[in-house]
Structure 1
Amino acid sequence: GFCGDPDDETCWFQCSGPGRYQCRVSGLVFDMTGGGDVFYRVVPWNRSLLGPHGKKPAGPLFDISCQQRSVARLHLPHCEVRSTGRCHFLSVAHLHDEGVEFIRPERITETHIVISITGFSAFGNVKDEDSPPDPVRALVLLFYRPPADPDVTSFLNVLLLPRNIVIRDLKRSRKKLSEDELFIDVPPHCKLHPDQVYTLSTSPENESVKVQPKEAEFDGEHYKDYFPSFQVTLKTLIRDIHLNLVEKSSSSCVWERDVHLLPAKMKTQLLSSEQLKEIRSSIIDRISGPNLKSLLDKLQLKGMMTEPESEEAGEMKSRHDKAQFIIDTTVRRKGDDASSEMIRFLCELDPYFSKDLGL
């Protein structure tokens, strides 16, 4: 479960007996000698404690406590590629009131570093500062900020991160920066070289799509403050985009995906809002009197027009004025949902007219 301040969330689990338990959120594994309540959360690294020892972060720092002291072993997720043979650069830092101690692993599996523990406080993977920049398992994560009506400009933030970050912590951090930002769920896995430079290209690639910066270095120690490596600015409404991440030195593609930017509901709303602006004049000029009356009835029935608004529209003699009043005064001013509903009603009332309008 989760407890504490939403801005500083703590995970916890309760077990009634010995066993091995894995957290599906953090990837941590606990070997328990008996029952207990374990609490843990991600906290920032204090790099000044690592520097004098020639160490740097190689994973999140977890503040862990267990009142019953029944955790015998801790398995911390790592992102190293074990086949490179470089895992001997890894150890675990234990930060406590007296300072920091470095624990040699009992063993290193493909995914975890295993250590025995007796005391508690903060634990996190570290590696030697002079360790070679071999590739690590990494993630390319996408966060999309959709357009704010009436502006059609949107932003796609691209984050290059080590695989052993805690994604729930990342999402919470991103949410603080922008409430409207959406996580785009695409396969994120790849291998990246720390300190290597990468470029991001897009398709379509034209003046309406801008990637900045032109290139970015992969920071393999990015474990708490999660900022984009690239930002793609989309100056028109784009449903789908192809992304291609290339290592600059070798020109080799390390990750590419076709990305669907808009959830189905949002696609409908945004397209409806834009469509209504584009076809407003055509509707006003060409909608028939009977269809206009039926549209008025449907809008009132659905509560999208108040009774005074409906009466005012009904008193208008000119079909042109009535259509303009309905679109401008009642629908466009009431947001995307109203626009979507109006277009749906038009399609139901006159499919041929709607098809001719491009609906």
Structure 2
Amino acid sequence: MESVGHVSDSVPNRSASADLLLPSASGLRRRDRSDSSPSVLCPLIHQDPPPDVSILPRAASLPSMKLQSSFEEFTPGFCGDPDDETYRFQCSGPGLYQCRVSGLVFAMKGGGDVFYRVVPWNRTLLSPHGKKPAGPLFDISCLQQSVAQLHLPHCEVRSTGPCHFLSVAHLHDGGVEFIRPERITETHIIISISGFSAFGNVKDEDSPADPVRALVLLFYRPAADPESEHEINVLMLPKNVVLNNVLRFRRKLDENERFLETPPDCKLQPNQVYSLSVSPGGDSVLVQPKEAEFDAESYENYVSTFQVVYEETMKHIRLSLTDSSSCSVWDRRVCLSAAGVRRSCGPTRQNLSPKEQLMEIRINFKDGVSGPVLQSLLDNLLKEKVINDSEMEEVAAERTRGEKARLLVDTVRRKGDDASSKMIHFLCELDPFLSEHLGLM
């Protein structure tokens, strides 16, 4: 497969604009993985029907890339504006790396900056060939051309069959190509690539209607005043959606909505009709609609499947999703008394003092902050005289990134609210993504 020489005006070339993106970096943590192998490279989306389509043979593996039994997780940096969210992975060398946000796995043959984002599917490119989306469409670019393979997350249940109906669509301004996977693991489709544009999982339109791994997500809208009604919006989505995109979409619909962190995993059957029941119920609780189909292709519009409306304040509520044979497929007890503690982007800590906020995020900050962001934090805090030279040297002398981060938090929070506020301000500027998920924004 050849690299794409130029791209459509409808989607800007991420490689060309890389110097305009923020320099936020990634933090890595090793995790064992028994069924995983190298990752991918990508092209860009075209909005008009292509002149041709080709079915590509199974991509050949690069001889320099060996199967690996482990990968490193990273939290990507955030680039771009809220309406065009682009992630950045700064890789220092060869290896297998998984993004905590998207689930993508990159097999890198060397260092480089990888930029990627979710872009809309143009279904008119797929339907003439009997294909439909089976995952998000990712626009990926890397100036250094150092991505060897891509692992795209899927949501199929492999125990129901070998998944021969899955392939990867490669969209570019010359047409669309369907790549046969090198391998399909329990969670990912693996392909090798030699260019960049847009890649996404697709499946045959006549593929078996077997259950897929799915998510049931809850969003709570509190009553505006004592006379108003409370609402819980219930979404049924395929498991390989990018959750951060869902949260961003819902936040744009209603800034007052709160994401309820309840275990979301279940298995749902495409086009199956499901119903939602609520306890306690009665005349004061309304569920609408009574029944709804599960759309396994919901990768762009994250609108409510069900809505629960009630008047009186409740501490807890039980939600149960059942199929057409009245079998429960998802059942959860939801704590509503703590619903105001969580916004759709992270835990809200605005009611705490700055030094209390640092104490609350201490552990998650230690685990999530990247090395480059930590170093920039130190530089900014030293410049603003929040810490002195000896304190900076003391942090730098710690053996691991986690120990450095923990000592920095403890050093700053002991100096009081003014120092803590400055550290929070710098962290929000340097790593908005991490800051949102820590509840600082």
- TM-score interval (norm. to shorter): 0.7 to 0.9
Aligned match of 2:117? 41
Aligned match of 2:227? 151
User: Do structure 1's residue 57 and structure 2's residue 102 form an aligned pair?
Assistant: no
Q: 2:300 aligns with which of 224, 228, 231?
A: 224
Aligned match of 1:253? 328
Aligned match of 2:3? none
Distance 1:81 1:178, change over 3 A: same
The alpha-carbon deviation at position 266 of structure 1 amounts to 6.8
Distance 1:137 1:79, change over 3 A: same
The alpha-carbon deviation at position 21 of structure 1 amounts to 0.8
Match for 1:133: what amino acid? A
User: What are the residue-to-residue correspondences of 1:309-320 with 2, within 5 Å?
Assistant: none
Checking the alignment, whether the CA contact within 8 Å between 1:153 and 1:237 is kept in structure 2 is no
Distance 1:158 1:265, change over 3 A: closer
Which consecutive residues of structure 2, in runs of 5 or more, have no partner in the other structure? 1-76, 343-350, 352-441
Q: Which structure would you say has the larger Rg?
A: 1
User: How far apart in 1 are the matches of 2:180 and 2:339?
Assistant: 50
User: How far apart in 2 are the matches of 1:3 and 1:104?
Assistant: 32
The alpha-carbon deviation at position 86 of structure 1 amounts to 4.4
User: How far apart in 1 are the matches of 2:180 and 2:126?
Assistant: 15
Checking the alignment, whether the CA contact within 8 Å between 1:152 and 1:237 is kept in structure 2 is no
User: How far apart in 2 are the matches of 1:7 and 1:239?
Assistant: 35
Structure 1 ranges of 4+ moved more than 2 A: 264-267
Distance 1:265 1:116, change over 3 A: closer
Q: Which has the higher contact order (CA 8 A, sep 6+)?
A: 2
Q: 2:201 aligns with which of 118, 125, 136?
A: 125
The alpha-carbon deviation at position 261 of structure 1 amounts to 1.7
User: Do structure 1's residue 11 and structure 2's residue 87 form an aligned pair?
Assistant: yes
Distance 1:38 1:266, change over 3 A: closer
User: How far apart in 2 are the matches of 1:126 and 1:170?
Assistant: 20
Aligned match of 2:210? 134
Checking the alignment, whether the CA contact within 8 Å between 2:87 and 2:115 is kept in structure 1 is yes
SS in 2 for 1:87: coil
User: How far apart in 2 are the matches of 1:98 and 1:58?
Assistant: 22
User: What are the residue-to-residue correspondences of 1:195-344 with 2, within 5 Å?
Assistant: 195-248=271-324, 250-263=325-338
User: How far apart in 2 are the matches of 1:209 and 1:264?
Assistant: 18
Checking the alignment, whether the CA contact within 8 Å between 2:168 and 2:178 is kept in structure 1 is yes
User: What are the residue-to-residue correspondences of 1:37-186 with 2, within 5 Å?
Assistant: 37-186=113-262
User: How far apart in 1 are the matches of 2:107 and 2:258?
Assistant: 36
Give percent identity, aligned residues only.
71
Checking the alignment, whether the CA contact within 8 Å between 2:278 and 2:319 is kept in structure 1 is yes
Aligned match of 2:409? none
User: How far apart in 1 are the matches of 2:101 and 2:110?
Assistant: 22
Checking the alignment, whether the CA contact within 8 Å between 2:318 and 2:333 is kept in structure 1 is yes
Q: TM (normalized to structure 2)?
A: 0.59
Checking the alignment, whether the CA contact within 8 Å between 2:220 and 2:339 is kept in structure 1 is no
Aligned match of 1:313? none
Aligned match of 2:266? 190
| Aligned residue pair count | 267
Match for 1:205: what amino acid? G
Which consecutive residues of structure 1, in runs of 5 or more, have no partner in the other structure? 270-359
The alpha-carbon deviation at position 36 of structure 1 amounts to 0.6
Question: Deviations for 1:216-252, whole angstroms, at most 9, x for unmatched residues?
Answer: 000000001101110000121112110010001x221
Q: TM (normalized to structure 1)?
A: 0.73
Question: Deviations for 1:158-207, whole angstroms, at most 9, x for unmatched residues?
Answer: 00000000000100000000000000001000000000000000001111
